[in-house]
A and B are shown apart, each in its own frame.
Chain A
Amino acid sequence: MIRFEHVSVTYAGAAAPVLRDVDVRIDEGELVLVVGPTGVGKSTLLGAVNGLVPHFTGGTLAGRVVVDGRDTRTHPPRELADVVGVVGQDPLAGFVTDTVEEELAYAMEQLAVPPDVMRKRVEETLDLLGIADLRDRPLHELSGGQQQRVAIGSVLTAHPRVLVLDEPTSALDPTAAEEVLATVTRLVHDLGVTVVLAEHRLERVVQYADRLVEVHRDGTVTDGPPHAVLATSAVAPPVVDLGRLAGWDPLPLSVRDARRRAGELRDRIALVPPPAARRDPSRTSDSAVLRARDVVVRHGPVVAVRGVDLDLAGGQVTALMGRNGSGKSSLLWALQGSGPRQAGTVTVAGSDGAAGTDPASVPPARARRLVGLVPQTPADLLYLDTVAQECQQADREACRSRAQDAEAPTGAAELLSRLAPGIDPGAHPRDLSEGQRLALVLAVQLTAAPPVVLLDEPTRGLDYHAKQILRGIVERLAAEGRSVVLATHDVEFSASVADRVLVMAAGDLVADGPTSAVLTASPAYAPQVAKILAPLGYLTVDEVADALDRAAP
């Protein structure tokens, strides 16, 4: 169906090709998962399938890509629209019309499908994706999962034989991601659509894949059956890591596979005492650094946060979870003081033991010394041309907001080199990877030395390696005695780093407790290791490795 014949792609001005001599053949009806670290050219590979690379992006493509007998050299993307359907990461950015029904019809109108056929296909697609009740709704009112399903539907109506999905679930909460992936697997099984999918969170999709294509840092690719590729892959979901640790062959890909083989492992580690609480409780101070009472946030008639009480202790890492639109961001912004807050109190204890201050009642320059927030789109904070300039500007801002007697703060450049070493100071912030940009904004915010650091969706778009680095950063912040709050959908990341998990639903805090207790309580939020090793209270592969070490002698 899709043939890459010795394909190399070099972007204009780049020293080395992004893809090097790719020779892959994808057959009809396969679900192929493209894996690899961030920034290695997964998107380039996906874009080459329908000719967006190089027709739209520029650059030079050597070799040949043939889709359903059509060569992308002679067929620009629009001429492949009836064969390949592309769904991007942010569905809202790709919508052309404004209601669900018109969006579904758009591609067909371009292909000059007769009106009566169009009508029939729209109805079928509405049913196939379970979005019939949304047909008249404006697209921007839909939830993230619904938007993504409409986006898939809008390319499906053209009856493409290939579906290309570039990180379709990265912005979605676990349940919505399940919804979308269930839709995709259904398309593969019921309609025989060929699917090419890129995804960072392999734990969500790897069990559905027929084949894996791994893109390496040098631009070469290897492909093969999932367990073979994952045995040596640089990125692997926890279930595979656990399999590697336990030496299982072939490697398990799903919780079910692993659980059936894990009996012996469970017996071995059941003998050693269960993992201790992650951080030494004595180090987390008893007194709360931040105390919020009865916080209410409303956006017009919509209540985003409904009377939340929250105490944050120093040295503690808290994960804030909940589905899209449950009020996580609103709560973080309200705690920082920059966002709206209709009722309730927030007090942050001063570093000098002074009486608590409400960050909303002081100027923004002072509020950021109490609570630092890294927003969902960190790039919003950056506006200068180089990393070095951003750091200098951050230092100036920090000096301006600082009291005269305080000691000179740590410079942003130094913080950045500690958080993420090796970033070129002359680079443009937009050219950094997601993880590097996050580190830069975090460094900028840390120049104010706030005792409370809030991170809104920091793991979005990060690969496993980048998450590992982020985990190190978060742990260091906690070790310095700061209280860190992460709003995230990433169950595995929360399991690996958080001491405490809060779950929000419809503006209420519905769960609050130690990570192990909250995450293992519900299947939607349980990490893979917990599912495999239940009822033992293990959450991550590292904990299991540690337990095995202790069990060994």
Chain B
Amino acid sequence: MPTPARRHLVDARRVPRALHPLSWWTWALGLAVAVSRTTNPVLLALVVAVLGFVVARRRGGAPWARAFRYYLLLALAVVAIRVAFRSVLGGDVNVATMHVWFSLPRVPLPSWAAGVQLGGPVTAEGTLSALYGGMTLGCLLCCIGAANALANPKRALRVLPGALYELGVAVVVSLTVAPQLVESVQRVRRARKLRGGSGAGVHALREVAVPVLQDALDRSLRLAAAMDSRGYGRTGSVSRRARRLTGGLMVTGMCGLCLGVYGLLGASTPAMLGLPALAGGSALCVAGLLVGGRRVRRSRYRPDPWAAPEWAVALCGLVPLLVFLSGLGAPAAGLNPSTFPLAWPSLPLVPALAIGVAALAALAAPPPARAAVGGPATVPGPSHGWVRGPLETRAGRLGEPA
């Protein structure tokens, strides 16, 4: 790993640009699949550290780039909820052989709830296994959060294949409509006060809902008219047979994909079920998209290039994926440390190195494009991206003597 000063030099020589969103998604999903195969808290903590590092180094200045923090909080909440539920619901069978920390008062439940118990002894084994499981889930969330923070979600939708273009547009439009709806509700509630209403309560619901819905309907009609007159949906005609073929291919392909993913991720299902189903499903989906995409006559403005950095970043994510799936260099106990009997989690070398490779994405990716100077007139606070530039420089110089 280069020193901060060298890192700064490396960045200075490269042209800042946004990386292809698919590249970040491949990277993040690769890590996510790897994460799903382990409950080793040390490895999981390592993954979160890597995610945080890469996000901090390579996110842009846009609003969605600040999303990672919220995913992190969500992950913590997931862990906390899981541990809390496990403690309250208990359910340990061999309590006698476990390490009991303390006992919660037991709540008697009616007979139809047999098998469920509230309260009871809280054991180290049970809490730890809940903690590990929660960490895996939280880590998965963080992977998705990192992808969202690093890749502009709207640009990610733009890379959807032509056949799915309409779906992408629907998502983009609904993303823009949601804030408008909120604004509309606020406006109407404020207007209700002018008529003496308080804008609260069941009675006010109709008074607010009717104008808001009328407004939303009007707006969507105007949007539809605008899209229509600007050429949206100039797709030419598709024969009924081609449409059915596309549909059939996509549905079958999707089923295959689901089966394959289940087979791959679930450690208990045989890998023989997973891989062939995944491959077959993908092939069918690709065929469906190609058939569906043939009818599309559309071009793309400033498409994101797929160049060497994109390959490198995707590869950085695929390395942990392959290592974890193959179980290379790590016995099962290394990836899933035992909680019964209690054992210290170990740090298996090869998987740890593989996660380290994922961190290299921060170097492989070009620095993110900052907003041009004089661009946005309203800079939202000091946390905005391009303030970081000079600070980094100074940190780099300070770091040099050390």
Contacts and interface: CB of A to CB of B under 8 A. Distances in A.
Interface of A: 50, 52, 55-56, 76-82, 84-86, 88, 90, 93-98, 101-102, 105-115, 118-119, 122, 133, 136-137, 141, 154-155, 158, 333, 336, 338-339, 363-365, 367-368, 372-375, 377, 379-383, 394, 397, 400-401, 430, 444-445, 448
Given A338-B194, A364-B194, A107 B231 contact: yes
Contacts of A372: 194
18 contacts: A52-B225, A55-B228, A77-B228, A79-B234, A86-B225, A86-B229, A93-B218, A94-B222, A94-B226, A96-B172, A110-B298, A112-B298, A136-B375, A155-B230, A158-B231, A338-B193, A397-B197, A448-B196
A97 B176 CA distance: 8
Contact of A50 (B176, B192, B207, B229): B229
B226 A86 contact: yes
Interface string B299-311: 1111100000000
Q: Which of B233, B297, B303: most chain A CB closer than 10 A?
A: B233
Nearest to B235: A78
Interface size class of B (residues with CB under 8 A): 35 or more
A333 B189 CA distance: 13
A93 B173 contact: no
B188 interface: yes
A78 B231 CA distance: 4
Nearest to B224: A56
Interface in B209-248: 210-211, 214-215, 218-219, 222-234
Nearest to B233: A78
Contacts of B375: 133, 136-137
A65 B172 CA distance: 34
B225 A56 contact: yes
Contacts of A106: 230
B206 interface: yes
Contact of B302 (A52, A98, A115, A444): A115
B111 interface: no
Interface string B307-351: 000000000000000000000000000000000000000000000
A379 B211 contact: yes
Contacts of A107: 230-231
Given A55-B228, A95-B176, A96-B232, 20 more contacts: A81-B229, A81-B231, A93-B218, A93-B219, A93-B226, A94-B225, A98-B172, A106-B230, A108-B301, A110-B233, A110-B234, A115-B301, A115-B302, A136-B376, A141-B378, A154-B230, A383-B207, A444-B195, A445-B194, A445-B195
A368 B196 contact: yes
Given A52-B225, A98-B176, A119-B301, A364 B196 contact: yes
A373 B194 contact: yes
B175 to A, nearest CB: 8
B194 A158 contact: no
A383 B211 contact: yes
Contacts of B167: none
A98 B154 contact: yes
B222 A90 contact: yes
Contact of A110 (B223, B230, B371, B374): B230
A411 to B, nearest CB: 16
A482 B198 CA distance: 26
Contacts of A56: 224-225, 228
B299 A112 contact: yes
A333 B190 CA distance: 9
B47 to A, nearest CB: 32
Given A381-B195, A430-B214, A82 B303 contact: no
Contacts of A111: 231, 234
Closest 3 pairs between A and B when the two form their complex, measured CB to CB: A81-B231, A94-B226, A105-B301
B228 A76 contact: yes
Nearest to B211: A380
B197 A364 contact: yes
B198 A364 contact: yes
B169 interface: yes
Contacts of B228: 52, 55-56, 76-78
A124 to B, nearest CB: 14
A78 B375 CA distance: 33
Interface in B222-279: 222-234
Nearest to A164: B229
Nearest to B183: A140
Nearest to A111: B231
B372 interface: yes
B397 interface: no
B230 A339 contact: no
B186 to A, nearest CB: 11
B56 to A, nearest CB: 23
B17 interface: no
B388 interface: no
